[in-house]
Chain A
Amino acid sequence: MRLVVGLFMAAILLVLAAAGPAIAPYPKEYSEKLLVVPTPEGSETLYAPQPPSMRHLLGTDRFGYDILSLLLYGARYTVLAALGSAAARVLIGGSLGLALGMRRGGRSAAGKVSGGLGGIPGFLVVYFVMLAINIDSPLSTTTLGAIQSALIVLLGIPVVSATIAGKTAHHRQTQHVLAAVALGANRRRVALKHILPQLREDLLLLFSGEVVLVLVLIGQLAVFDLFFGGTVLAFDPILLTPRVPEWASMIGASRSSIQAHQWLVLAPLGAFLFAVLAFQLVASGLEHRVRAGYARPPLV
């Protein structure tokens, strides 16, 4: 059930990422910094940010941009960054793990690298590498996003490869693989034809788990104003804002508004949480399915 719900939520995210700009109620550049509305006494001028209303379902941000439109324009950055980085982690880390797992001692080598890196919080590494190039950068949004994604991928490869190396080493000892080796299959054939198909569910499980980890990492960086795709520094008052309306960046940019303008944080927070829970449900559902296949019943 949770797998179905998770997949349904993930499908919604994909639709939003693909069609978000087309269904956004306002154009990308449209903002209402101030709005004059007629009243029985004459007229009243309303200043941004505006709370949720029929005109702006999720309200406007401090620059007058419609938050719902921002979320719809930004969905593709969040979804693409998370899916792309997680896919690259699993593809590169999985291939490396498969190769290491086929060699004697490769499993423990992968484990040592992964264990050594496990002690350093991932966001610290990305933070310090990108710190001096992300704010008011001459680099394009795409380049900054690509650098951040590449760093996120690099950080995840050791753990993924250690996991896959362990599972490959386990499958190498199964009867059908030993039989294939005895019949003369070479290492490459054993890996691709006999072990890789056994790892299909593990790789899917890893992928959905990695999507969640990548989302969390992007969010943690945004808390420290390191926004995906670049940070813009504005003066008078001093403000750090994201170049693109990526969801985690929107949370980071509005986190100081929890007292006065809560809708500024709540809307992106809800969208981000929806994305995290979607892939967490997929991961949890897949895990349940994999376990149910071979679990022994408890004896007490």
Chain B
Amino acid sequence: MMRKVAALACLLVAILVLAAWPDVLFVEQDAVVFRPSAVFTDVIGYVRGVADGTSFVYGFWDERSLFAGLDTRIVNSFLYMVVAGLLAVAMGPALGIWLTAGRHDRLKDAVTLTGAVPDFVLALLLQIAVVAFYKSTGHRLARVASIDSSRPAILLPLLVLSLVPMVYLVRTVSARTYQIVTEPFVTVARARGAARRRIYLTQVLPNVTRYLRADVSRVTGLILADFFIVDYLFNLRGITTLIFSFGLKGGYRYSLVVNGLILSVLLYAAVYLVLRAFVRGVEALAVRA
């Protein structure tokens, strides 16, 4: 318990320091300024702002409350991440075992190579393909970006979000399956006359799912990192715009970025818990089988 509290405290400090960097290292009157003391100024200002509420107000030309529309941002982000995570955790291991059991090496290579395509490249390629298809046929296959809350882009963002963690699971599960089917207990099962299908179901599956729980944190991390890109490129109206709002709208808002990063950690935790519960359910089913 103490270790978890310490890890959370470290993460909070990392967020507070990381978000302060644009105030530490910046350009002023054509010269680069390095001002480490800005970390303390920013953090103290943020803590004071938490007490009096100003840390939850941001604005460029007009003042806005962070909480206005925040529920929609959080729910949007959570739903996209959870659905993508469930798709990856449900399909990745199944595909990994199937590809190894069926010796579909070429197909496995193709899946692995597809997973190497960076998230933003895949997102842009899919958007371009949908636009080109629409221009040549007049049929819209999917929305290339969310227009407003009632017309969200769903298919393409979920495809991009779930692909990277799914391919990761295909690779790891496939490697584990390969390792398990070379173990002596598989020879024993064969010597006792067990059919191939039964060996996979009773020996391989429980051994593979046993490791899945350890992959959940990695899968959630991959989805969160991808979500920043996908949210931005598909205009999903999630939490990303809170973090990446710098630039042309009147300067850098430390409190807004810190709030966005803290929210992303909370989202990570929520998605992690859902995926872990799902994996435990799969484990229980595999053991029963």
Give chain A's interface residues, CB within 8 Å of chain B.
2, 116, 118-121, 123-125, 127-129, 131-133, 135-139, 212, 215-216, 219-220, 223-225, 233, 238, 240, 251, 255, 258-259, 262, 265-266, 269, 272-273, 276-277, 280-281, 284, 295-300
Contacts and interface: CB of A to CB of B under 8 A. Distances in A.
A139 B19 CA distance: 22
Contacts of B127: 258
B117 A132 contact: no
Contacts of B30: 138
A133 B144 contact: no
A120 B14 contact: yes
A121 B113 contact: no
A300 B194 CA distance: 10
Nearest to A2: B109
Best-surrounded residue of B121, B187, B190, B200 (most CB of chain A within 10 A): B121
Nearest to B221: A119
A228 B114 CA distance: 26
A284 B113 CA distance: 9
Given A224-B244, A262-B128, A273 B109 contact: no
Interface of B: 10-11, 14, 18-19, 21-23, 25-27, 30-32, 100, 109, 112-113, 116-121, 124-125, 127-128, 131-132, 144, 178, 181-183, 186-187, 190, 196, 199-200, 217-218, 221, 224-225, 228-229, 232-233, 243-244, 246-248, 252, 257
Given A138-B30, A259-B144, 4 more contacts: A120-B14, A132-B252, A212-B116, A219-B120
B22 A132 contact: yes
B196 A300 contact: yes
A70 to B, nearest CB: 18
B27 A223 contact: no
A191 to B, nearest CB: 28
A138 B117 contact: no
B22 A262 contact: no
Query: Dominant SS at the A interface?
Result: helix
A37 to B, nearest CB: 25
A281 B132 CA distance: 29
Contacts of B120: 219-220, 223, 251
Given A132-B252, A219-B118, A299 B27 contact: no
B32 A138 contact: yes
B21 A276 contact: no
B18 A128 contact: yes
User: Top 6 closest A-B pairs, CB basis?
Assistant: A132-B26, A121-B225, A280-B116, A132-B22, A296-B182, A298-B181
A296 B182 CA distance: 6
